[in-house]
Amino acid sequence: MLLRKMHLPLYLLLLVAWIPKAIFCQEQPATEDQSPQANCGLAYGKIRLANSEFARRLLKLLVSENPHKNVFFSPVSIATAFAMLSLGAKTATLTNLLEGLSFNLTELQEREIHKGFQDLVQLLNTTEGKGQLESGNGLFINDQLEPLQTFLDDVKNLYAAEVFTTNFRDSEYAKKQINDYVDKKTHGKIPELIKHLDPTTVMVLINHIFFKGNWETSFNSTLTELQDFYVDKNTTVQVPMMMKREKLYYHRDDDVFSSMVILPYEGKALLILILPDEDKLEQALDAIIAQRETSSPRFTEKRKVTIYLPRISISTTYDLEQLLPKIGIRDVFTDDADLTGISTQFKLQVSKVLHKAALQVNENGTVAAAVTDIEVQRNIVAPPVTMKFNRPFFMVLWDTNIHHPLFLGKIVEPTAKY
């Protein structure tokens, strides 16, 4: 019997709706290097280092492919989606996919990897009433495809995926069904993920992340004013520049040619801002990537920091099927792809990987508060610091619950959308 060749588009969806209110919330340095097992459970701890390696490799790739553009993405979203896809991969395709995600298969068994992601899925949806972090997976399957029951059971049980049946032959109907799902999951921030859907599609896999964090103490909007942002030596744009003077965790790292500051959110998230020295952007990135783990530095002291931070409103779109083969994920995109763990009815391969991200940072939702604290201690005074983010910089949205970045970014132009 001849096998009809079909394509399996895999869509990776990311949204972060970021409307911060606060600047400082914790007395303990939120970036102390705690054991991931202590924070997250043994299963997740086994995959965290591989996820960090994958995040570092993908950051280097996206920056090199977009040297003059903003870069903003979720390594957690992409890794989770491909790990879920690997449930349907077999033979060399499975090995290539997991190794492309930076897993050492001589040290870690496949079932341990999926148990780790099962932990991660649960942790990403654990909230303590502060902030908003939602993540999930959706699987849209053609009504003529007969997926294996083991595959359906695994995506539901391990990845908490919602599974829907649709008619991809009616591409407009299927497109609306998927876009409505995305619109709901992203709280209206991405109303139209898919603009065109090939009627030969048999499955669409979606991973989404939605984050909304609040500052405990807001930037004062009356201090925001238009200032120059130096995109490069030849380009300057005017941006609304926020300003705040606060005692914050600050770190100077000469090894990466950068100064860093933490802006914590309520709950378990914090923002690490990394300002490379002038004309040291590329050297700083190379040094950051060369570190053996994408981890937060040890911030050991608070300093009085005057921080100038632009409002940010950006969006990014990546067609990753053209990029991921450059870091080793190849087989699923070729005619030799073995995805028989999904279905043996048709020969399947991945034809599309779409990753979309949006980011907003502003002063909305101001909370006014005052407190008087009189303490007597040994007086070791560090000089005040001024950090002005008026040139390209890096940012890490870090979740202390999973001890891993939710999002990584390089901000080149704070208002660009593409």
Token pair recorded at residue 91: 């033979």
- Determine how many CB atoms are found less than 10 A away from the CB of residue 25: 18
Three-state DSSP class for residue 342 = coil
Whether the CB-CB separation of 217 and 24 falls below 8 Å is answered with yes
**Where is 47: in which H helix or E strand?**
helix 42-65
Per-residue pLDDT, 298: 62
Mean pLDDT to the nearest integer, 267-293: 83
pLDDT confidence tier of residue 221, bands split at 50, 70 and 90: confident
Mean pLDDT to the nearest integer, 78-90: 93
CB-based contacts of 194, cutoff 8 Å, min separation 6? 11, 175, 178, 179, 182, 204, 354
Residue 352 or 327, more confident: 327
Residue 222 or 299, more confident: 222
- The edge-to-edge listing of strands for the beta sheet with 132-142 is 162-166, 132-142, 203-212, 8-13, 350-361, 312-319
Residue 41 pLDDT exceeds 80 = no
pLDDT confidence tier of residue 331, bands split at 50, 70 and 90: very high
Domains annotated for the chain, with CATH where assigned, are: 8-214+313-361 (3.30.497.10), 221-310+379-411 (2.30.39.10)
**Which pLDDT tens digit goes with each residue over 341-389?**
998 888 888 888 888 888 888 764 222 111 211 122 223 346 788 889 9
Q: Tell me the one-letter amino acid at 51.
A: N
Of the chain, the percentage scoring pLDDT greater than 90 comes to: 37
Least confident of 24-28, 46-50, 272-276, 341-345: 24-28
Per-residue pLDDT, 238: 94
- Determine how many CB atoms are found less than 10 A away from the CB of residue 188: 10
Predicted TM-score (pTM) of this structure:
0.85
Tracing tokens 């970021």 back to the chain, one arrives at: 18
**Which pLDDT tens digit goes with each residue over 245-267?**
888 889 888 888 999 998 887 77
CB-based contacts of 188, cutoff 8 Å, min separation 6? none
Mean pLDDT to the nearest integer, 302-313: 90
Phi, psi of 400 (to 5 degrees): -75, -10
Token pair recorded at residue 163: 């599974």
Whether the CB-CB separation of 411 and 361 falls below 8 Å is answered with no
Separation of alpha carbons 13 and 202, rounded Å: 18
Residue 97 or 14, more confident: 97
Separation of alpha carbons 242 and 273, rounded Å: 14
Separation of alpha carbons 82 and 371, rounded Å: 48
Angle (CA) 148 179 59, round 5°: 80
Token pair recorded at residue 39: 């924070």
Mean pLDDT to the nearest integer, 154-177: 92
* 84: nearest Cα among 190, 153, 159, 181: 159
CB-based contacts of 66, cutoff 8 Å, min separation 6? none
